[in-house]
Structure 1
Amino acid sequence: MKIIVFATLLISLLTSVESDLLAQRHAHRRVERVRVVRARPVRRYPRAKVVVVRPRRVRTVTVLPAGHVTVVSRGRNYYYYNGFYHTQVNNVYTVIAPPRGVRIRVLPVGYTNIVIGGTPHYYYQGAYYKQVGNEYETVEPVVGTVVPNLPEENVDEVTIDGENYYEFDDLLYKPVVTASGTQYEVVGNLDD
């Protein structure tokens, strides 16, 4: 009798844990569909006109997290872990925007589905991914793409000709109010 009760409790406990794990796995995926009606021409803003209102906060570490992956792009090493890319300068690793064309096998937990020009893309912390075969490649978004948030690091609040923007990885974003609250629209690029 004790064995049957124990077995029943064990099965119900395992079923409960499995259900919680599955629910947790799916809870990290936010699905927001954004449609870019049509790609607009890229508007270029001269860097010489940029006035930094609030400088970026940069995150650095001296030791990379266990399990990071080294990704080589254009002869340079980048270190990827959990959706974040690092580069090494001296003995310090700095969180940066990913270079375009880098591929990963698994999307980071918490990514957002977006649709750019009718094609599914995925967004996470300033990085845009498009599926290529069994991998996900970093790509540049088109002007008009709207995302739910911006990264916590490496974002400057700037003004250009009296207009306020957020700059991340040479992309300029403007806050827009949507049915989901304040989101951020790609409005152009900075020129050197």
Structure 2
Amino acid sequence: MTRIIAGRAGGQRLHSVPGSATRPTTDRVKESLFARLDAWGMCDGARVLDLFAGSGALGLEAASRGASTVTLVERAGAAAKVCRANAEILRAACPDTKITTVQSAVAGYLGRAPFHRWDLVLVDPPYPLENDELASTLVPLADRLGPGGVVVVERSARTEEPAWPAGLRRFEASDHGETRIWYLEAEHDAAAS
């Protein structure tokens, strides 16, 4: 069972996806990730997209910390069901956050979703997903980040850094035991700063 670390729903327990197909982000990694995002002012009022959402724990952590909208995208039916149940748990503590669960493959969702600008995109794909497939999945995000928007990619620390698609560049990385996190921004944002 995972939990919300901090914010309006801090301490709230969330349902986990049954079975071993989904790998939840540990509390320690989540704490470190969101401490960094909070220091950058990334959650409060943010439009958040959680791709490969699993139980929705990352997107819902952002909701607890003040995100205005959170969209959880998960292909697997059992995991999408858990996302919806966890979103219901958060609605009482975060009534001002619009939380939506979409059952879809990530590439399909990004290809057909209405045009939105996201401030924070959380990407925690299955570890077996090849880097080339991950990079091609991220292509549409370069033009869909709001000003100062950040894409966070969580992978195994044993995985080589992907060749990021044109339009996105890594500006920071951090290691947490078996987990590596890369932080990306749109190249036009990098040029403007």
User: If the length of structure 1 is used for normalisation, what is the TM-score?
Assistant: 0.27
Structure number with greater CO (CA < 8 Å, separation at least 6) is 1
* TM-score, normalising length: structure 2: 0.27
Instruction: Tell me which protein shows more helix as a share of its residues.
Output: 2
